[in-house]
Structure 1
Amino acid sequence: MLVFRNVATAFLMNGNDFLLMERAKENDLMPSFWYGVGGHLEQDELNNPRAACLREIYEETGLTENSIENLQLKYVLLRRSKNETVINYVYFGHSKTRDVVENDEGTLHWIAKEEVLKYRFIDALKLALKHYFENSNSLDEVLVGVVRSDNSSSSMSWGVLQNMDGTTVLTL
């Protein structure tokens, strides 16, 4: 049986720094890995990943929607993880403040952009961050990324989410 898990992730910036979370070592899911802030979509959020993203931002950082500017969906990432397909809606935005609260998911850190890719992420997020850093000035559309993995490495196939008028075509 094919199972889907929907998650939303936010990478918030303040100046040249990104807000990242190091997952707690005691966490059952990906301990000691680094992430943006985010988590699973609730049942009533399945058609609104932005609402889930804002809820998760608040739960994990204490930041409200009013303290975030330009929160935009940039990527929809698809990857297989054991017996499920993970769909990750990845948002980028700017935080008006660096003041965040502690949470029980992990520890929050403001990390300089130049240092971000040195940290241990799941492959899908690291590939999306790398793409964002290389293309953020020209990234006007939502991209779909499909992770391809073999025993030694992972790569991402990118496509543009098609407009209703058919002006752009999704190619993977």
Structure 2
Amino acid sequence: MEIRQMATAFLSHQEYVLMMKKANSKIFNFEFWGGIGGHLEHEELNFPMKASYREIEEETGFKENEIENFTLKYILIEDGNGEIRQQYVYFGETTHRNFIPSEEGDLFWIHKSELLNLKISKAIRFTIQHYLENPARSNICVGTITVNDEQIPHIQWSTVKQASAF
């Protein structure tokens, strides 16, 4: 079984989040919305934040110094078509709303209240919903996506904390 590691960023400016609308991808063959991101390159496997900043600059033109409070908030794990998908999800704030159009998809600033109305993957839906319900949370959460007996996807959240010596 292979492991696919990805980094995704959600950049906000005031009450809006920068989202990308894609016509299709390797995972979906229909139009969908997502954050900014992609796969980790070999040299980035131990540095997902570096990968995230690279993807942000490639897809939006935002440079690292134009992003504030950029923090790893979630690690998502799911089984996807015979591969384990591990996704590092970051949230940050931009100092302005000017982006450069991307060949990866169309970029739009979407009001936070409209995010869950978009056609997004289950993993991202669970993540955005959790983030919106817990905006002040500082711990990293790990989300494991599974399906119940009726094959309905759900997520189990765990908080990452440093273990005591004993």
**TM norm structure 1:** 0.90
Task: Provide Cα deviations, 1:112-158, integer angstroms capped at 9, x if missing partner.
Answer: 00001000111011000000000112x11001000012455211101
Looking at structure 2, the residues matched to 133 and 39 of structure 1 have their Cα atoms a distance apart, in angstroms, of 23
Q: Secondary structure of the equivalent of 2:99?
A: coil
Distance 1:112 1:105, change over 3 A: same
Alignment of 1:25-104 (within 5 A): 25=24, 27-30=25-28, 31-104=30-103
How far the C-alpha of 1:33 sits from its partner, in A, is 1.1
1:126 aligned partner:
125
Distance 1:46 1:164, change over 3 A: farther
Looking at structure 1, the residues matched to 144 and 127 of structure 2 have their Cα atoms a distance apart, in angstroms, of 10
Task: Provide Cα deviations, 1:29-83, integer angstroms capped at 9, x if missing partner.
Answer: 4241110000000000000000000000000000000100000000000011111
Looking at structure 1, the residues matched to 85 and 155 of structure 2 have their Cα atoms a distance apart, in angstroms, of 14
Task: Provide Cα deviations, 1:86-134, integer angstroms capped at 9, x if missing partner.
Answer: 0000000001111111111110000000001000111011000000000
Q: Are 1:24 and 1:105, in contact at CA under 8 Å, matched by a contact in 2?
A: no
Looking at structure 2, the residues matched to 108 and 62 of structure 1 have their Cα atoms a distance apart, in angstroms, of 11
Between 1:158-167 and 1:111-120, the stretch displaced more is: 158-167
Overall identity of the aligned pairs, in %: 37
2:141 aligned partner:
143
Looking at structure 2, the residues matched to 121 and 62 of structure 1 have their Cα atoms a distance apart, in angstroms, of 23
* CA RMSD after TM alignment: 1.5
Q: Secondary structure of the equivalent of 1:71?
A: strand
Q: How many residues align?
A: 164
1:107 aligned partner:
106
1:156 aligned partner:
155
Looking at structure 2, the residues matched to 144 and 130 of structure 1 have their Cα atoms a distance apart, in angstroms, of 14
How far the C-alpha of 1:24 sits from its partner, in A, is 2.5
How far the C-alpha of 1:162 sits from its partner, in A, is 3.0
**TM norm structure 2:** 0.93
Looking at structure 2, the residues matched to 166 and 34 of structure 1 have their Cα atoms a distance apart, in angstroms, of 43
Looking at structure 1, the residues matched to 66 and 85 of structure 2 have their Cα atoms a distance apart, in angstroms, of 29
